[in-house]
Homo-oligomer: A and B are copies of this chain.
């Protein structure tokens, strides 16, 4: 049982946060954020699989490999990606400056960046911004920290819950940014989760991997896997529960359920705020022979510009959905494939459904939230992917991103 609470990522005990404007974003908005645990915390993180991984990803990997994360420093407005050796030096400098201001070791500080690729960080602004943020850390700083990671996001993405963990009240909260270049593979475009649960680092890592696989790794806005994707969770044990030291325990299940709920909610919020999105599409593929196949088919639908523009235009051109399944690489047989959109059955075992008409489908497609279900009719496995439509606004946002 999860109970929604307020307070964002500083709702779990022992966490503070801050966000300041350091001058990286030209529009005067908050661009440096910090999250801090007052006590040592177990930490786990996942990163983009993009081979052009940004400098902060490379630097943070070394930090999170140790299983302890005490603070996160993050900037928006500049991705510090494709910036060569200078970029790596700059990311390390961010860690060093933050660690010094917080009186921590370098190896306890995670660094993240988001924004334009191929531009170097303005390090003077970054350094003074980090000092300001460290000084501003507070239990009320969660909204500022959240503001600091936003780029083309149109609303903040946050959730916080309370749940019972082995008889103790435990809190978990997360913030995320999304919008564009969203097709996470092992992580997503910046998500930070705090919890006061006590959990061993290696078990935390396992829980995060499992939860991310079924949440962040199941969304797509535009099929582009970013250079800067990162999801990190800090667990500082202040809830007082007995340490979760094995994935086989009852408390692990309680914790995992909460973590997965947070990851899924944030992942869905990212899709709802996909660049230019006017629709939220849930794509269920059932009856697959494997999860990999179900995901392949669902992702092909989610990535198809033809499907996405049809939903934007509310054009009842359902054949494009089956077309995408057909080229997805998943095992499929046309005469076993069925299609439902909303509550409307369109194809049953490869044949047009009796009584289906396109006027009804247009009505279904007028909704903002729409579920699409493709039953492959071959097995017992299913997968659910979330995506959004493709609009004029997406083209506008991305035709003018740096100018």
Contact = CB atoms under 8 A, between A and B. Distances in A.
Interface of A: 48-53, 79, 81-85, 116-120, 180-181, 183, 185, 222-227, 303-306, 309-310, 312-320, 322-327, 332-335, 337, 347, 350-352, 358, 362, 390-392, 394-403
A318 B399 CA distance: 12
Nearest to A115: B319
List the 9 shortest-distance A-B pairs measured between CB atoms, nearest first: A313-B399, A117-B319, A52-B326, A309-B398, A118-B319, A225-B327, A50-B326, A84-B351, A51-B326
Contacts of A120: 352
27 contacts: A52-B326, A52-B327, A52-B337, A53-B326, A53-B334, A79-B319, A81-B323, A85-B351, A116-B317, A117-B317, A118-B319, A180-B306, A223-B303, A223-B305, A224-B305, A224-B320, A224-B323, A224-B327, A227-B319, A305-B305, A305-B390, A309-B395, A309-B399, A313-B403, A316-B403, A362-B403, A395-B395
A106 to B, nearest CB: 23
B326 A401 contact: no
A350 B82 contact: yes
Given A52-B325, A81-B319, 19 more contacts: A51-B326, A51-B334, A52-B322, A52-B332, A52-B334, A82-B322, A82-B323, A84-B335, A84-B352, A116-B319, A183-B327, A222-B304, A225-B323, A225-B326, A309-B399, A310-B401, A313-B395, A313-B403, A314-B403
Give the one of A82, A119, A224 with max B CB within 10 A: A82
A305 B398 contact: yes
Given A305-B224, A322-B117, A315 B51 contact: no
Contact of A310 (B119, B391, B398): B398
Oligomeric state, in number of copies? 2
Contacts of A53: 326, 334
Binding site of A, secondary structure by majority: helix, strand, loop or mixed? Answer: loop
Contacts of A225: 323, 326-327
A320 B324 CA distance: 25
Contacts of A347: 82, 118
A52 B305 contact: no
A102 to B, nearest CB: 30
Contacts of A304: 222-224
Nearest to A307: B224
Given A51-B332, A52-B326, A223-B304, A394 B319 contact: no
Contacts of A119: 319
B222 A306 contact: yes
